[in-house]
Structure 1
Amino acid sequence: MDFQLDDDQRALKAGVRELLTARFGHEGLRAAVDNGPALDRTLWRELGEAGFFALRLPESDGGVGLGLPEAVLAFEEAGRVLLPGPLVATHLAAGTVEGAAMGETVVAAVDGELVEWLAEADVVRGDAAGAEPLRSVDPLTPLHRVPASGEPDPAAVLRTSLLPSLLTAAEQLGTAARVCELAVQHARTREQFGQPIGAFQAVKHLCAQMLVRVEVARAAVYAAAVTGDPLDVAAARLLADEAAVRGARDCLQVHGGMGFTWEADVHLYLKRAWVRTQRTGGATQSEDALADDLLAGTAQ
């Protein structure tokens, strides 16, 4: 099975990157941090007009008519620039919630015991009764905690979290790739003892390990987007979460004390990666799914 991107997919990825970089580049990110977690409705509508939310919606229903692999490429680029907002929930609501496809309606979803962007949403999917504000480590992701409602059915959770988990993995992949780039750029320009810090073996190893994690996660995420297999998605989510969190931590290490300052962007990538790991389909659920499959195979 070929997981290489074709010309149209590469053009889509480049187009989404160009749009997001122009509309939410470094200055946009810093402005969002300074202004607090307020959703940019103008940007949201622009994303809708560009087809971001309607990528998988059939053309007969006013969508773009593409598939899951293309949606993964778009969400990877969103993760690369730390685009804020309930992107996954709104994308998945296109075609079922009026206005979601065009970005006129912002949709949030209850995800386990959390819901992101509850106060900004026009529509909330799931039972958010009794939700209480929760202090979020990520300044661009407001959170509410939802009271637990009994023990979830593992099979049902795996089934319903398939698409959200894969799109989250794609966002994590974009973040992992970006922090790898930031680390390499800093290693090339920051000098100590008369030479770039990238010349030191310890820094070289950190950057190399980041790149390996990114490319392994990329292969897994792209493959899961093609196969749609729940176990492939579980593996992709684990690898993407690890690549994003460990990559951001290693990027902080490369930046040294500067990386921990509020003025730097690096800590924002780590905080968003941490928050995403708490979405449905994260480490515990993915590990359980893979472990159950391994045990089932052993028993046969």
Structure 2
Amino acid sequence: MGEIGLFALRAPESAGGVGLGLPEAVLVFEEAGRALLPGPLVAGHLAGSAGLVAGAADGSVVVTALEGAWTGGGAPLVEHLRAADAVLVLDEGGEARVLSPGELPAEPIRSVDPLTPLHRVQHRVHGRNAGGADGAFAEGGAGDAGGAVGEGGAGGAVGTSAGGGTDAAALRRDAALLTAAQQLGSACRTLELAVGYAREREQFGRPIGAFQAVQQLCAGMLVRSETARSVVYAAAVTADEGEVCAAKLLADTAAVHNARDCLQVHGGMGFTWEAEVHLHLKRAWLRSEQWRTAVTSEEQLASALVRPICH
């Protein structure tokens, strides 16, 4: 992935990157979701394109991410921690920090997705970040991660705050949108699988796609996929916080419900290891709990609706 430029996609060409923008990144991550590519791809892309971790852009350093939010009393999860060389911590507000995996107090837990190992952060350990402000999860800050922060050479092209630092809020927004793009790709893939199977599988001497009940399932999958696509693409162009929330909400819904309907079309065959349908469902469940959850998106959208309109 590093060799083909996935992690340096939005880094400027002057820094050795590809020099593209968020809309192009969304298209790439949509295809990654369609293919069920494993790994902390979003974290690597953010770290490489923003120049936060040396070696992230070419894939020689594996970067995972921690959302840094304890919502509803639940401890946050981090994926692929054992394989990672660095952890990108994106706290609520402030600037992004980078820690080494050993600095993170986390324990392994069983993941619903067999291709995405998970660790749960056990407790907060307050420290200080590179700018001297209080940190949230581990002692030390970005400067303690082997001096990796800012050495990637991207010049802060992605997620740069007005003060010149790396804005964690902007990175969290981008992470939510790229995750929504992966969900969109998965939703489109399960639609293709369902339609293809409905054309081939015969029952009572006819393809099951000839039956109205199956047609209705496939039609609903198409509507969800195309609705999510329009919103995800729009959010990629505007990078508006509210539109990103809407994109993540609709893409999560499309990915989960399309995978479930695809399983319904496949019947028992969809649960076998020979079929990829169940893997799409498990990955969709997992992604729906990352970055912007449904509750978080709905709350932010509701707040935007009741906010007074300024003339």
Q: Mark yes or no: TM-score above 0.5.
A: yes
Structure number with the higher helix fraction is 1
Identify the residue that residue 219 of structure 1 maps to in structure 2: 230
What TM-score does the superposition give when structure 1 sets the normalisation length?
0.79
Looking at structure 2, the residues matched to 193 and 158 of structure 1 have their Cα atoms a distance apart, in angstroms, of 56
The correspondence for 1:233, drawn from 241, 244, 248, is 244
What TM-score does the superposition give when structure 2 sets the normalisation length?
0.77
Percent identity over the alignment?
A: 64
Looking at structure 1, the residues matched to 236 and 281 of structure 2 have their Cα atoms a distance apart, in angstroms, of 25
Please state whether the residue corresponding to 1:109 is helix, strand or coil.
strand
- 1:145-174 per-residue CA deviation (whole Å, 9 max, x = no partner) reads 113549x9xxx9865520100000000000
Q: Give the C-alpha shift of residue 129 in structure 1.
A: 2.5
Q: How does 1:241-256 map to 2 (within 5 A)?
A: 241-256=252-267
- 1:243-264 per-residue CA deviation (whole Å, 9 max, x = no partner) reads 0000000000000111122332
Retained in 2: the 8 A contact 1:108–1:121? yes
Please state whether the residue corresponding to 2:105 is helix, strand or coil.
coil
State how many pairs are aligned: 250
AA of the residue aligned to 2:41: L
AA of the residue aligned to 1:71: A
Looking at structure 1, the residues matched to 169 and 226 of structure 2 have their Cα atoms a distance apart, in angstroms, of 25
Please state whether the residue corresponding to 2:81 is helix, strand or coil.
coil
Q: Does 1:92 align with 2:46?
A: yes
The correspondence for 1:134, drawn from 109, 112, 130, is 109
Looking at structure 1, the residues matched to 193 and 108 of structure 2 have their Cα atoms a distance apart, in angstroms, of 33
Retained in 1: the 8 A contact 2:113–2:283? yes
Retained in 2: the 8 A contact 1:132–1:144? yes
Against the structure 1 CA distance between its residues 198 and 101, is the aligned structure 2 distance closer, same or farther, given a 3 Å change threshold? same
Identify the residue that residue 106 of structure 1 maps to in structure 2: 62
Please state whether the residue corresponding to 1:132 is helix, strand or coil.
strand
AA of the residue aligned to 2:263: L
For structure 2, the 5+ residue unaligned runs are 70-75, 90-98, 127-135, 137-166
In terms of mean alpha carbon deviation, does 172-181 or 252-261 score higher? 252-261
Retained in 2: the 8 A contact 1:248–1:270? yes
Against the structure 1 CA distance between its residues 148 and 203, is the aligned structure 2 distance closer, same or farther, given a 3 Å change threshold? farther
The correspondence for 2:6, drawn from 42, 52, 69, is 52
For structure 1, the 5+ residue unaligned runs are 1-46
Identify the residue that residue 88 of structure 2 maps to in structure 1: 125
Please state whether the residue corresponding to 2:119 is helix, strand or coil.
strand
Please state whether the residue corresponding to 2:3 is helix, strand or coil.
helix
Identify the residue that residue 78 of structure 1 maps to in structure 2: 32
Retained in 1: the 8 A contact 2:54–2:61? yes
Against the structure 1 CA distance between its residues 255 and 277, is the aligned structure 2 distance closer, same or farther, given a 3 Å change threshold? same
Retained in 2: the 8 A contact 1:168–1:237? yes
Identify the residue that residue 289 of structure 1 maps to in structure 2: 300
Looking at structure 1, the residues matched to 306 and 173 of structure 2 have their Cα atoms a distance apart, in angstroms, of 21
Aligned-CA RMSD value: 2.0
Looking at structure 1, the residues matched to 114 and 38 of structure 2 have their Cα atoms a distance apart, in angstroms, of 10
